[in-house]
Structure 1
Amino acid sequence: MPEPKPEGRVARRQRRNRAALIRSARDVMAEKGVDAATMLEIAERADVGAGTVYNYFGSKDELAVAVLETLMHELAVRIEKVTDTFEDPAQVYAFGIRRVLDTATTDPRWEQMLHRSEVIADAIFRTMGPFAIRDLRLASTANRFRVSNPELVWRMTTHTIIGASLAITKGEVPAAAKNQIVARMLCMTGLDLDAASELAARPLPDLPPYIEGE
């Protein structure tokens, strides 16, 4: 198998610029919110030309989604550090979807993008899918779940998470109902409501901090 070609100077610069813009946008949006953040301020903080940002992102919303995708990946890594200690593969998946729901309803960077539900659900599907789909398969192999199409179950779950998060952040559904919401999502795996409710009510260990580079 031929070795991959080394990354060229232009490609390295483009990768660094894109990463710098995402880091800058992440900081600015955390400080001011998505709506108040400006592309000019983001570009200046990333130390790139004002017009350069549009070479990588067509709009502020597109950049905000890229920021969210980095946060989603970090969350998946943090979840995995906890669930690696679980013996029950069904609990691995249940803990994951509960923590995603918690984050979507408490992290302002997620909350401010929830109105773009289809875009955010797709981002969760793509970014966290490799973890969630693997967990669905492992739980099915262990006969804890009955899932023949894990991709479909995960896609339906992502839309449920975003819909429920919107309802919670708007005050239409109480945050105290999260266990019930998670239980209903677990029913999509083939569990009956009693088993799903027991799984959803299990203790939730704290998430460890994310270490850059993981």
Structure 2
Amino acid sequence: MPDTPNSRATRQRTRKLPAPAEATQGRQPRGVRRKRETRTRLLDATLRLVAEKGIGSVAINDITEAADVGFGSFYNHFESKEGIFAALVEWVFEEFADSLDRLASGLSDPAEVVAVCVRHTLMRARREPVWGQLLIREGFSVHALNWGLGQRLLRDSQTGISARRFVVPDHFLCLISVTGIIFAAIAAELHFSASVTPAVQRQKETGLGEQNFAERAATVVLQALGIKRAEAESIARLPLPGKPASLSSGRQDRILLERFESSLNC
């Protein structure tokens, strides 16, 4: 609700009160808090189910059962399962794509832009396994190229081709190949980070593990775009310009969902 002159004056006279957002949350009645909690539980359940099973295999009753919420309560928050799926995918991937754009905004070399984005994508998948699983599950869907990450990769590769930095015989097939490399690398990253079996330990000892894995994956992606191996390796090892807004603690999944729920709460 927009500020009125009286409300602005009141805040100026009461500087000892909490920040506006905190004060508003503290004044929420019990019914509003319960509604918010229910919405968060639905989003929590949806994120984890979609990451585990894929959008096509999740029904509304799966979501409500996992969230321990009545079936009818779902429609108090979302019009359909397509609505919650669309909101979930758009927020999770668009938010990260925007953060990558901010990271690479000061870079002029298309090859370095791609390398930075690949490395940060793998690093985030390692820190946030649920996010990584969701990306893998839905990344190969028919509409994946319409998402933020797909559109950024399409744009950045085209920029490199136009500048004659990348040399590829077929742009579309190259894009598919690069996307496959990234998703396969995320799957491997999750596998190595989650598994402690003797077989995986032996793989790590022989160099198949996660040692400099993000840089190695970025090198392969750049080679697929026509960059020579020695230069690709050099670019992939350059210092990163910074970190996107991401999560690093054991509470990462909960914080992610709280941010998601807040962005959708109107």
TM-score (norm 2): 0.56
For residue 146 of structure 2, what is the aligned residue in structure 1?
126
Q: 1:157 to 1:30 in 2, by over 3 A?
A: same
Q: Which of 153, 156, 161 in structure 2 is aligned with 1:135? A: 156
Preserved contact between residue 116 and residue 240 of structure 2 (Cα < 8 Å): yes
Q: 1:73 to 1:33 in 2, by over 3 A?
A: closer
- Whether 1:101 aligns to 2:137 is no
Preserved contact between residue 68 and residue 110 of structure 1 (Cα < 8 Å): no
Question: Partners in 1 of 2:67 and 2:172 — Cα distance?
Answer: 35
Q: State the Cα deviation string for residues 72-114 of structure 1 (Å, max 9, x = none).
A: 1111100101211112122112211222222223213224446
Q: 1:95 to 1:86 in 2, by over 3 A?
A: same
Identical amino acids, percent of aligned pairs = 21
Q: What runs of 5+ residues in structure 2 fail to find an aligned partner?
A: 1-37, 53-61, 193-199, 201-207, 247-258
For residue 106 of structure 2, what is the aligned residue in structure 1?
85
Query: How many residues are paired up?
Result: 186
For residue 241 of structure 2, what is the aligned residue in structure 1?
205
Describe how 1:141-152 pairs up with structure 2 within 5 A.
141-152=162-173
Q: What runs of 5+ residues in structure 1 fail to find an aligned partner?
A: 1-20
Question: Partners in 2 of 1:153 and 1:69 — Cα distance?
Answer: 25
Question: Partners in 2 of 1:152 and 1:43 — Cα distance?
Answer: 44
Describe how 1:39-188 pairs up with structure 2 within 5 A.
39-40=63-64, 49-50=73-74, 56-57=80-81, 67-113=88-134, 116=137, 119-122=138-141, 124-127=144-147, 128-171=149-192, 172=200, 173-176=208-211, 177-188=213-224
Describe how 1:2-41 pairs up with structure 2 within 5 A.
25-27=42-44, 39-40=63-64
Q: 1:109 to 1:141 in 2, by over 3 A?
A: same
Preserved contact between residue 114 and residue 120 of structure 1 (Cα < 8 Å): yes
- Whether 1:193 aligns to 2:229 is yes
Preserved contact between residue 43 and residue 50 of structure 1 (Cα < 8 Å): no
Question: Partners in 2 of 1:108 and 1:65 — Cα distance?
Answer: 20
Question: Partners in 2 of 1:178 and 1:85 — Cα distance?
Answer: 21
Deviation, structure 1 residue 208: 4.1
Aligned-residue CA RMSD in angstroms? 3.9
Q: State the Cα deviation string for residues 44-71 of structure 1 (Å, max 9, x = none).
A: 59xx73367896227xxx9668624421
Preserved contact between residue 145 and residue 191 of structure 1 (Cα < 8 Å): yes
Preserved contact between residue 46 and residue 63 of structure 2 (Cα < 8 Å): no
* Bigger CA radius of gyration: 2
Q: State the Cα deviation string for residues 99-149 of structure 1 (Å, max 9, x = none).
A: 222222321322444673xx3333653312221111111112222111353
Preserved contact between residue 139 and residue 145 of structure 1 (Cα < 8 Å): yes
One-letter amino acid of the structure 2 residue matched with residue 56 of structure 1: S
One-letter amino acid of the structure 1 residue matched with residue 226 of structure 2: G
One-letter amino acid of the structure 2 residue matched with residue 145 of structure 1: F
Which structure ranks higher in relative contact order (CA pairs < 8 Å, sequence separation ≥ 6)? 2
Question: Partners in 1 of 2:39 and 2:222 — Cα distance?
Answer: 34
